[in-house]
Structure 1
Amino acid sequence: MEEKLKAYRLKKRQEKIMTNIKDSIQNVFVERNTSLQDTDDLESINSEESTDIPLPEESSLALKLLYLLLWITVYLIALQVEFGAVYFIISALFFIWINTRSEKKKKGEISAYSVFNPNCEAIQGTINIEQLEKQMGYGVTHSSLL
């Protein structure tokens, strides 16, 4: 049992290291602090979770402003060497890539795809086929056209 516990802890540490490397690569503009608690008893191993520690609002705003100023500076340099359009497109694609969701779905969060939700429940604002038919007028009978 102890060997399984040691193997499990080793596996979790390796996953933590890989996750930290991936997060640091993917989140250049986003400041995240995650911590995993290492515990000794078997019951708490199953409940290991990472926690996000939010930054104070002022420092996060100042950091974003510094990143924006850095981006503008490099963009102006790219314009001088006639590389501005390429730099802008690459940075726009990078910004889109950074802002895509890469972490797992939180508990209780519903999916945008209704087939993955309990009871196939759709999210608010989703149009189903009945609503679409009503809006397009396919529900009109031939007797009402006369």
Structure 2
Amino acid sequence: MEAKLAAYRSKKRREAMVESAKNSFKGVLTWNDKLILPSDEDVEDVESIQSDDSIDITPPPPQNPIVTQVTYLLYFLLWATLYIIAVQFEFGAVYFILSLLVLIWINTRTGPKRKGEPSAYSVFNKNCEAIDGTLNAEQFEREIRYGASSMH
């Protein structure tokens, strides 16, 4: 029974991830301002997917740092080659700007948070703890009264 339940959850998780990817691509590629409301069935499936028992995202095992560096070097050389070609066709500025936008998009995480990772919204964290770098009212008041150098 446990194996069937695990298979069902993994199937539903995959379906939800595929649907989420489709919706995100549709949202990016279309210019519609229509609001799509989820059905009750979708909400139940998402809740079962988001439960602590069903999602356990662990980071992949670390790779060899030399392989990683060589991979990044090859990516950079490919980008630089394409940039030189774009400059020759007087398309360099557009290529550079599009490259920056792609880099920004790649560096944003759109997946679910990892187990045990604090939320950016402190009300969802244990004891309402804020993450590092969050500006709170007490810090703001100290900076106004005593200056920014009063922070330690």
Give the counterpart letter for 1:128 in structure 2: N
Q: Are 1:63 and 2:74 counterparts?
A: no
Distance 2:112 2:96 in 1: 30
Distance 2:87 2:134 in 1: 43
| 1:82 pairs with one of 90, 93, 97 | 90
* Structure 1 runs not aligned, ≥5 long: 23-45, 139-146
Q: CA deviation at 1:119?
A: 1.5
Q: TM-score, normalised by structure 1?
A: 0.61
Q: TM-score, normalised by structure 2?
A: 0.59
Percent identity over the alignment? 58
Q: Are 1:131 and 2:123 counterparts?
A: no
Distance 2:65 2:119 in 1: 29
What is residue 11 of structure 1 aligned with on the other side?
11
Distance 1:58 1:86 in 2: 32
Deviations 1:76-135 (A, max 9, x none): 000000000000000100001001112221121112221221111112343321221232
**Matched-pair contact (CA < 8 Å) for 2:118–2:131:** yes
Distance 1:48 1:126 in 2: 27
User: For structure 1, which segment, 10-19 or 108-117, has the greater mean C-alpha deviation from structure 2 after superposition?
Assistant: 10-19
Give the counterpart letter for 1:103 in structure 2: G
| 2:101 pairs with one of 93, 100, 106 | 93
1:13 to 1:130, Cα distance in 2 relative to 1, 3 A: closer
Q: CA deviation at 1:48?
A: 7.5
Deviations 1:18-69 (A, max 9, x none): 49x89xxxxxxxxxxxxxxxxxxxxxxx667565233211111111100100
Which structure has the larger Rg?
Answer: 1
What is residue 40 of structure 1 aligned with on the other side?
none
| 1:108 pairs with one of 99, 116, 119 | 116
| 1:122 pairs with one of 127, 130, 140 | 130
Equivalent residues in 2 for 1:14-29 (5 A)? 14-15=14-15, 18=18
1:135 to 1:77, Cα distance in 2 relative to 1, 3 A: same
What is residue 54 of structure 1 aligned with on the other side?
62
| Dislocated runs of 4+, deviation >4 Å | 4-7, 46-51
Q: How many residues align?
A: 114
